Amino acid sequence: MAVPDRTAEPGSSTFPVEIPYLILAAIVISFALAQINQRVASPLLAIADRWLRWLVFAFGAAQICQDFELVDRPYWVLALVFFLVWFLGETLMNWLSIHALSVSPLPLFPRYVINQAGDEWPTQPRPLRLRDWFRAQGFKQIQALKAEIGGGIYLRVSVYQDPAATTRVQVTFIPRSSGAVNICYSVTTLTADGRRFVTDNLAVPFAGFYPESWSVERVPLCRSLARLLERHRARLARAGATAVAFTVEPHADLNSTQGELDRLNTELGFLHSQPDREDLGKITHEGCYRVWKEIWMLNYLGRAARYE
């Protein structure tokens, strides 16, 4: 005897969840996340939105093919195919973006100048709270810098230092087209044995090489400066490192390290040599692959490559 379908009975507490409704809900959530993230600029929300858009595309395209009988294949096969189509399409877009950056006049390691305009600190609630936190912790601002990255767009940097001058915090304000500002931190300490410890939460790909004397950890999903500073100090303690005071101003130190990174990455094959850059672009084929891989890791996993 056939078992009746209780999901169709009046008054039943269960009902079939249809895929089109799930896709519609995912679209609404994705739209809401995008709108919220225009104001808060959260990497975590951005990752969630990217995954949702990827899944919406895969399952939505498969549903359209099935509803209009465009392809005679099982639903899961169609969803998998469109999942891979998104991957290939975004891979193509990323490679084009990397190539455009490579051949553009935009500097990969921009030179910083002292910002005397006094406009480095946005007048928004979150940055203002951050400035109050610095005061409460005893950090003092020692320099304001900026670097042009093209088209009249500047990266603005504010450098703070603790009372012992052994820890510097570089606060970088990255403008976005929506008007929101990404705030990234980089904590740096020099040690008695000549090492440079850096802990940052930059959510932009680097993918290059660091000098052997550098110990770098990137945690893009850590948006709290207090936690980042605690993590940095824990790394120093585990390494048994003795911090020494900075003797060079941030402006000179930052430009010196930018030049060192450019030279090292040219020697190790991440960048083309200076004479070849006009014809071949700045980034080598191997370098483009490393950047592409890190873009995917940052965009969908929130992780950067480990450099220790």
Most confident of 12-21, 65-74, 264-273: 264-273
Mean local confidence (pLDDT), 145-173? 90
- Which of 296, 216, 299 is CA-nearest to residue 43? 299
Q: pLDDT band for 114, please (50, 70, 90 cuts).
A: very high
**Phi, psi (deg, nearest 5) at residue 289:** -65, -40
Alpha-carbon gap, residue 102 to 108, rounded angstroms: 9
Q: What's this model's pTM, rounded to 2 decimal places?
A: 0.87
145 bridge partner residues = 114, 157
The DSSP element (H or E) to which 172 belongs, if any, is strand 168-175
Mean of the pLDDT values across residues 179-201?
A: 92
Give CA–CA dist 234/222, Å, rounded.
15
Alpha-carbon distance values, 225 to 121, 233, 253 (Å)? 16, 12, 22
Mean pLDDT over 75-100 rounds to: 97
pLDDT in tens, 19-35: 899 999 999 999 999 99
Residue that has been written with the tokens 């600190």 in this structure: 121
Residues 307, 219: Cα–Cα separation, whole Å: 12
